[in-house]
Amino acid sequence: MRDTRDKILDASLALFSIKGFLGATTKEIAKKAGVAELTLFRHFSSKERLFEEMIASHSFLPALKGLLPELKDLSYRDALVQIAGGFLNRLSERRDLIKIMHSEIHLYPAKVKEIQQNLVGEIVKTLASYFRGMQEGGLLKEFDPELGARAFLGMFFQYFTNQEFVVEKKQKFENRDAVIREYVNIFVFGTEAGKSNNGSGSTDGVR
Amino acid sequence: MRDTRDKILDASLALFSIKGFLGATTKEIAKKAGVAELTLFRHFSSKERLFEEMIASHSFLPALKGLLPELKDLSYRDALVQIAGGFLNRLSERRDLIKIMHSEIHLYPAKVKEIQQNLVGEIVKTLASYFRGMQEGGLLKEFDPELGARAFLGMFFQYFTNQEFVVEKKQKFENRDAVIREYVNIFVFGTEAGKSNNGSGSTDGVR
DNA sequence: TAAAAATGTAAGTAAGCGCTAACATTAATG
DNA sequence: CATTAATGTTAGCGCTTACTTACATTTTTA
């Protein structure tokens, strides 16, 4: 069957993310996939190749890219809220892969870099080009667009990993939107006093 | 001898960080420590206890705390530059431990949380209290101090892990100070146009 | 329905792992 | 110097692991 392979790939993703490459056994993966262990080896010549093909099969398409056009209709602030939300959603979807990425850097630095590149690098470029456009329109200050994008996404990436991997599983995302608003506010207006806007605003329009 | 124990602890830190808990063997650790494998087991009843005691022995004191007083003499912007630099230095010192933290969450969620708490939680509180003080003095906008601290440190934590674990080992820290300046600028002044300051400033005074 | 492809079952191999036992050797101590 | 504590050497046990072999059974295909 065609989907035997997929069942194995899915099971391996789940178990690798929970127990790591060395911690997950082929017997266990096969069991989780509802398949004989031998079948696993008939599809993938070794555990290592299973790992590689699993990674490759989950190597993802450029997302968040088609999102750029519709940002034109939003205020700068709301656009960032939108981007942050989309980014966090994307990270949630890929949480297993991100966990593996964190755990297995020492085993597969190249593969991991590739994931990181696909996962973050792409959206960094997208966001940077958005910033560049806004700067050319005189709507933003002068700052390095790529660095700015990394700073912005870095805040949220760090928030995500902290929530996913460190914080107790209770009340997850309870304060997600509040965090997004606060972070976006800081990014847009800064923190130093002596200017018009302040944080506890009501410029809503999203959510 | 007293330092046999320490040699084992040091070797285990190095190897666990490179190969992970399962990937590092007791034989290898003993060899790296210049010690017989049996000696390792005479000091630590099991590999697991070695791991725990290694973590405990590297569980660190509150740093960056005594730094707060001298921040009074700096401008807001320079204070943040100082904090960011100190934070990045601290992360560099503890890079092995951070790597283990990333790799071994699934094995020791409790221990890892403890590290994260000691490593980031403490400095978050410190920075948050700094923000609170500045807000009471009317020098900063109103924003949640703890969230702000997390946003600020998150940018740099993400920058650090990206540099350490993803980027090629060349040109490390070549642009470190530039990144710090840019990030601090964004955090202080925001990115939206229509205000006095702009990014490519010259408010130097640090470095 | 017959041939071929995919999967299952069961048993096992070779290697590596954490860890222990027995005894010899060195270093610290009084 | 004699005693004790710490370390080294070697061999090995029991277990798990990735992976294989041989053969039976099911599923797909033509």
Through-space separation of residue B190 CA and nucleotide C4 C1' in angstroms = 68
Which is more confidently placed, B113 or A62?
B113
Contact A99 B107 (CB under 8 A): no
Contact A188 B190 (CB under 8 A): yes
Smallest CA-to-CA distance from A177 within A199, A207, A200 is with: A207
Q: Put residue B64 in one of left, alpha, beta given phi > 0 → left and psi -120 to 50 → alpha.
A: left
- Nucleotide with C1' nearest the B39 CA: D7
Of A93-107, A146-160, B53-67, where does the model show the most confidence? Answer: A146-160
- The H-assigned helical ranges of chain B are 3-23, 26-33, 37-43, 47-57, 68-71, 76-93, 95-103, 109-116, 122-136, 145-161, 176-189
Contact B107 A157 (CB under 8 A): no
| Closest chain B residue to the Cα of A139, Cα to Cα | B193
The predicted-structure confidence for B103-132, as pLDDT tens digits, reads as follows: 888 777 777 777 777 777 888 888 999 999
- Residue B69 has a pLDDT of 79
The one-letter code for the residue type at B128 is A
Is A147's pLDDT higher than 90? yes
Q: What is the DSSP string of A142-190?
A: ---HHHHHHHHHHHHHHHHHIIIIIS-STTTTTTHHHHHHHHHHHHHH-
Q: Least CB-CB distance to B116: which of A116, A166, A188?
A: A166
Probe site for chain A from B155, B174, B185 (most A CB atoms < 10 A): B155
Mean pLDDT of chain A: 86
Tokens 């979807």, residue located: A93
Q: Are B17 and B54 in contact (CB under 8 A)?
A: no
Whole-number Cα distances in Å, A98 to A115, A150, A192, B103: 8, 17, 35, 11
- Residue B42 has a pLDDT of 97
- Residue A102 has a pLDDT of 84
Closest Cα in chain A, distance from residue B20 (Å): 8
Residues 58-97 of B with CB under 8 A from A: 76-77
* CB B47 under 7 Å to nucleic chain C: yes
Q: B25 CB near a chain A CB, below 8 Å?
A: no
Angle at A14 between CA B20 and CA A175, to 5 degrees: 90
Model confidence at A174, pLDDT cuts 50, 70, 90, reads: low
Tokens 């703890």, residue located: B146
Q: What percent of chain A has pLDDT over 70?
A: 86
Q: Least CB-CB distance to B18: which of A106, A162, A187?
A: A106
Q: Which domains does chain B have, with CATH numbers?
A: 3-57 (1.10.10.60), 68-189 (1.10.357)
Is A173's pLDDT higher than 80? no
Q: How many CB atoms lie within 10 A of CB A137?
A: 9
Separation of alpha carbons A183 and A83, rounded Å: 12
Separation of alpha carbons B11 and B142, rounded Å: 48
Q: Least CB-CB distance to A140: which of B103, B182, B193?
A: B193
- Residue A62 has a pLDDT of 58
| 3-class state of residue B192 by DSSP | strand
| Closest chain A residue to the Cα of B190, Cα to Cα | A190
Closest Cα in chain B, distance from residue A124 (Å): 13
- Segments of chain B with pLDDT less than 70: 1-2, 60-65, 168-174, 195-207
The predicted-structure confidence for A190-205, as pLDDT tens digits, reads as follows: 998 875 444 343 333 3
Closest Cα in chain A, distance from residue B31 (Å): 20
Through-space separation of residue A141 CA and nucleotide D1 C1' in angstroms = 83
- Residue B60 has a pLDDT of 61
Model confidence at A60, pLDDT cuts 50, 70, 90, reads: low
- Nucleotide with C1' nearest the B26 CA: C18
